[in-house]
Amino acid sequence: MKKTITDNRVDPDILAYTVGRDPELDLRLVVWDCMGTAAHVAMLSEMKLKRPVVTKPEAEKVRKELAAIVKLARSGGFEIREDDQDVHMAVERVLTEKLGDLGKKIHTGRSRNDQVAVDVRLHLKDELLSLFGEIVKLLDALVAFGRKHDAVPLVGRTHLQPAMPSSVGMWSTGHAEMILDQLTQLDAAYRLADLNPLGSAAGYGVPLPLNRKRTTKLLGFARPIHNCFGASMARGECEASVLGALAQLMAVLSRLAEDLILFSMPEFAYFRLPREYCTGSSIMPQKFNPDVLELVRSKAAQVLGLSVASLSMLHAMPGGYNRDLQDSKFLYMEGLDVTRTTVRILAKVVKGVEVDEPKCRAAFTPGVFATDAALRLVASGTPWRDAYHDVRDHLDRLADEDPDRAVAAKTHLGATAGIDYDYYRDAIAEVFGVMLDRRVKFEKCIHALVG
């Protein structure tokens, strides 16, 4: 039997199964666990009680030790043992080794349930802010690509069949806009993560005058989650919201990857991927494959799976804390890792893509101009349906149409000659500005609590 910090003896197999991957995954929560504890202990020291739980000088002692643990963790030196079970017990063990009885007081009025919930939310905030930073770089790359090749004609497709004149600028900023608009979901997920569950304890509050607004301020959250039971119910929900937003973003990125794969295959050849971004075959000497983009597609499927797993876990779970929730950690951590690396690699690929202008122009079959030609007939008085039939019966007349003229002819908002690059510049700058404000505010809190 193994003895744990809570002193109950647990069968080693049961312990190993219930601990699961926590000792490894929780290493990513050490900083956030220490930050949460520093805020909790500071708040405890300010509580108006006849006999204080901890005094202010004691709280400062704890804070200094927590800062030392954070330093150790940042250099990769902090260890979570199996009999610690998780980061929370590991930190308490170390504080007790260093500070004796004072270390044993830090968990007063708190449960691992609100503790882990606050750790995860701090971690989510940090990760999402980094992700926003990577997304801004991808958006910059897409918009720069669009600007550079703005008016290069590209066959616009529906059902994958040639449809109407498009342009490289339209294609590229179209993908950028999909990503930009998708950020409203990610922003909503960030706002959900920005709520403080600390002080809900096991999910039902405690008979101590906890100042939950104080820890909310110290930790830099927008507001506390009001209801203690609600705060415990929100564990996993918040992670699922993040994963839902990530899955949707990844679906958008997967379509970008798919377009790049198609348009760079020899049969299209509108685009060229740099040789060094392609991987070869062990048997076919001629091969340069877009493996990197194929993996973007598969990662999108993977993140969707993680999102489904996170919701599936929740839907039949009774109210209050259940250990099932421990498994939500791997899901959101994996989802964020996969998404961040995907966004980063796509920014690199987009920067490297070359455009083959003659191939883009050569792809314009007469039919691509048909709708434009019918609309010219409308302009000279022919009813639309008659113009439509007339053009369809004489597609051969369109053999000499000029793709560049067709691109230049559509000047309304968002059409080939109406792409407003300033709009994209401002929208991206806004995303960047919001991200930076949040980052600065958050870093101030981190610094004040744990250095």
For residue 27, the 8-state DSSP code is G
Single out the residue of 132, 321, 332, 388 in contact with ligand ARG (rule: CB under 6 A). Answer: 321
Q: Which residue has the tokens 């990760």?
A: 127
How many alpha carbons lie under 13 Å from residue 401 in its C-beta half-sphere? 25
Catalytic residue of the set 107, 111, 130, 159 = 159
**Binders in 63-102 for ligand ARG, by CB under 6 A:** 86
Q: How many CB atoms lie within 10 A of CB 382?
A: 17
Site string for ligand ARG, 110-149 (x = CB under 6 A): --xx--x---------------------------------
Catalytic residue of the set 226, 232, 254, 281 = 281
Of 30-38, 74-82, 215-223, 321-329, the segment contacting ligand ARG by CB under 6 A is 321-329
From the CB of 29, what's the least distance to ligand ARG, in Å? 9
Single out the residue of 323, 383, 412, 413 in contact with ligand ARG (rule: CB under 6 A). Answer: 323
Q: What is the maximum alpha-carbon separation in the chain? A: 95
Q: How many CB atoms lie within 10 A of CB 325?
A: 20
For residue 317, the 8-state DSSP code is P
Single out the residue of 182, 196, 307, 326 in contact with ligand ARG (rule: CB under 6 A). Answer: 326
By CB under 6 A, tell whether 435 contacts ligand ARG.
no
Question: Is 159 annotated in the active site?
Answer: yes
Q: Which is nearer to ligand ARG, 25 or 269 (CB)?
A: 25
The string of DSSP letters for 399-432 reads TT--HHHHHHH--STTSTT---HHHHHHHHHHHH
By CB under 6 A, tell whether 200 contacts ligand ARG.
no
For residue 150, the 8-state DSSP code is T
Cα 112 to Cα 80, 100, 142, 201, 322, distances in angstroms:
15, 20, 44, 7, 12
Q: How many CB atoms lie within 10 A of CB 330?
A: 17
* C-alpha closest to that of 129 among 450, 440, 391, 447: 440
By CB under 6 A, tell whether 17 contacts ligand ARG.
no
Of 188-196, 325-333, 334-342, 401-409, the segment contacting ligand ARG by CB under 6 A is 325-333
From the CB of 235, what's the least distance to ligand ARG, in Å? 8
Residues making contact with ligand ARG (CB under 6 A)? 22, 86, 112-113, 116, 321, 323, 325-326, 329
* Residue positions annotated with a catalytic role: 159, 281
